[in-house]
């Protein structure tokens, strides 16, 4: 805390780290200093999801006078509420992703492959000023859209295919994440019914956040609101993942918007995705996703 914080980095990244650390609250030190400094530490918390059993065993043998305490997502918890500068980077990333989505329909010509669309998404991101994609774009045609994390392949676009796109970019380290569905030709009655239901589920959950006006909103409440809409349409069993997740420096951060996850209250200036989806095996899938800033 205060001015006693130290960041230990590989010597190859010391100068880069110094540029990222603002002010004098944190001292950047090379990793070789870690063992010497640890000799005077009485208690050390370690992130159990990042430090291996082997590593903690080595430390316990080496630093016998230090008590090691298992922690979880301490840094991630600090990162949940975003600063004005962080929100600025996020909104730029979000804007570029929206521009990419607008370019996609004109490229959806019969015979184009999923892989070709994915490659153009990468090019458009660079042309529009993104640092990089925040994750490998998901491009799924037809029946492939029933797989939430389908990897783009050589499947060619056919008439009346459904097209699922999930992509995002990174600006100064901060990620965006959006999902859209496009129809080649007129959608079937079943496709339209599912699309409308997913759209309503997304809208209902988003309205809960926007209408809170400072009141507490939990991850459980959001997930349940979306599921209720799909339940009314007899589609809840095909919603096979959480409603969403936090976004920041990592594309997937806490909290998980799921009734199965620990119950948490969303924080002011936290960014979360709202992405309900319905996946009909052997037919098609529809996922619609936007990011929302909690006010």
- pLDDT digit string (tens) for 177-210? 999 999 999 999 999 999 999 999 999 999 999 9
Q: What is the DSSP letter of 263?
A: P
pLDDT of residue 54: 96
pLDDT at 49 over 90: no
CA nearest 112: which of 13, 184, 62?
184
Q: Which helix (H) or strand (E) element contains residue 94?
A: helix 84-107
The rounded distance, in Å, linking the Cα atoms of 83 and 90 is: 11
Q: Of 33-37, 86-90, 266-270, 277-281, which range is least confident? A: 33-37
Q: Tell me if 224 sits within 8 A of 263, measured CB to CB.
A: no
Which of the listed residues 30, 58, 79 is the one where a domain comes to its end?
79
The rounded distance, in Å, linking the Cα atoms of 33 and 183 is: 58
Q: Tell me if 32 sits within 8 A of 13, measured CB to CB.
A: no
Question: Residue 46's domain is classified under what CATH number?
Answer: 3.40.350.10
The rounded distance, in Å, linking the Cα atoms of 56 and 278 is: 42
Q: What is the mean pLDDT of residues 218-242?
A: 98
Q: In the beta sheet, which residues pair with residue 71?
A: 47
Q: Are 219 and 118 part of one and the same domain?
A: yes
Buried b (16+ CB within 10 A) or exposed e, 102-123: eebeeebeeebbbebbbebbbe
pLDDT at 132 over 60: yes
pLDDT of residue 101: 99
pLDDT at 214 over 80: no
The rounded distance, in Å, linking the Cα atoms of 188 and 283 is: 12
The rounded distance, in Å, linking the Cα atoms of 180 and 87 is: 22
Q: Are 44 and 89 part of one and the same domain?
A: no
The count of structural domains within the chain is 2
The rounded distance, in Å, linking the Cα atoms of 57 and 275 is: 40
Q: Are 96 and 24 part of one and the same domain?
A: no
Q: Are 178 and 277 part of one and the same domain?
A: yes
Q: What is the mean pLDDT of residues 157-180?
A: 98
CA nearest 219: which of 245, 181, 237, 197?
245
Q: Are 100 and 152 part of one and the same domain?
A: yes
pLDDT of residue 119: 98
The rounded distance, in Å, linking the Cα atoms of 281 and 295 is: 37
pLDDT of residue 2: 52
Q: Are 13 and 120 part of one and the same domain?
A: no
Question: Residue 193's domain is classified under what CATH number?
Answer: 3.90.230.10
Q: Are 148 and 275 part of one and the same domain?
A: yes
The rounded distance, in Å, linking the Cα atoms of 45 and 1 is: 14
Q: Are 74 and 88 part of one and the same domain?
A: no
Residue 245 belongs to domain spanning: 84-293
In the sheet that 253-257 helps form, which strands lie side by side, from edge to edge? 253-257, 244-246, 271-274, 290-293
């Amino acid at each position: 805390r205060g001015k006693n914080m130290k960041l230990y980095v590989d010597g190859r990244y010391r100068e880069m780290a110094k540029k990222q650390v603002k002010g004098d609250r944190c001292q950047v030190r090379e990793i070789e200093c870690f063992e010497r400094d640890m000799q005077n530490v009485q208690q050390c918390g370690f992130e159990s999801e990042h430090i291996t059993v082997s590593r903690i065993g080595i430390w316990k043998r080496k630093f016998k006078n230090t008590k090691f305490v298992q922690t979880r997502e301490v840094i991630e918890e600090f990162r949940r509420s975003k600063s004005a500068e962080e929100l600025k980077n996020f909104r730029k990333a979000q804007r570029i992703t929206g521009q990419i989505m607008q370019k996609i329909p004109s490229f959806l010509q019969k015979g184009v492959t999923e892989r070709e669309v994915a490659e153009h998404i990468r090019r458009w991101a660079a042309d529009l000023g993104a640092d990089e994609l925040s994750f490998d774009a998901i491009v799924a045609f037809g029946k492939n859209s029933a797989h939430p994390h389908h990897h783009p392949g050589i499947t060619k676009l056919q008439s009346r295919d459904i097209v699922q796109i999930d992509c995002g970019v990174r600006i100064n380290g901060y990620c965006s994440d959006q999902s859209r569905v496009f129809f080649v030709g007129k959608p079937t009655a079943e496709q339209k019914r599912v699309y409308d239901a997913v759209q309503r589920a997304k809208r209902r959950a988003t309205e809960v956040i926007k209408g809170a006006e400072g009141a507490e909103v939990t991850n459980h409440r959001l997930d349940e609101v979306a599921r209720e809409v799909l339940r009314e349409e007899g589609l809840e069993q095909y919603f096979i993942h959480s409603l969403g997740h936090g976004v920041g420096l990592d594309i997937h951060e806490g909290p998980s918007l799921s009734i199965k996850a620990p119950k948490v209250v969303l924080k002011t200036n936290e960014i979360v995705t709202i992405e309900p989806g319905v996946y009909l095996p052997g037919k098609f899938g529809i996922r619609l996703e936007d990011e929302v800033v909690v006010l």
